[in-house]
Structure 1
């Protein structure tokens, strides 16, 4: 991957990517290193919002079910 650096700390998780067309929508491919640093994996739910002109992606915590 061009322009990538190894991510050793979560606060350094910033790599370049490109917005692509996916049918009628647009898609952003997130590098595995960024997902790992954010603790996001396949199947996780995320919240996507816009704050101060920036796209913010936050992993939703899985629901905690009390032991029965």
Structure 2
């Protein structure tokens, strides 16, 4: 795997890292795509957010809220399965 070094840059009140176009092409990302960011074992993992086909009447905001609730209460849900 090719290793690239970048500097963290201030963007408004936030910080960012620029990514070269060839790197984005390699992973199938383009400007405007949504990404998921995870911190695991002191590393930042960035992946393209998969777009799901939602049934009629279910909007993306509802699914985002549902996913947040599931993540927040994951331990409790798993505990219920073990009962």
TM category (shorter chain) comes to 0.5 to 0.7
Which structure: larger Rg?
A: 2
Structure having the larger proportion of residues in strand: 1
Which of 25, 28, 31 is equivalent to 1:42? 31
Structure having the larger proportion of residues in helix: 2
Q: CA deviation at 1:21?
A: 0.8
In the alignment, what sits opposite 2:51?
Answer: 62
Q: Is contact 1:19–1:28 with CA below 8 Å preserved after alignment?
A: yes
Q: Is contact 1:46–1:58 with CA below 8 Å preserved after alignment?
A: yes
| Larger RCO (CA within 8 A; separation ≥ 6) | 1
Count of paired positions:
55
TM-score if structure 2 supplies the norm length?
Answer: 0.57
In the alignment, what sits opposite 1:24?
Answer: 13
Distance of 1:54 and 1:40 partners within structure 2 = 20
CA RMSD of aligned residues (A): 1.7
TM-score if structure 1 supplies the norm length?
Answer: 0.68
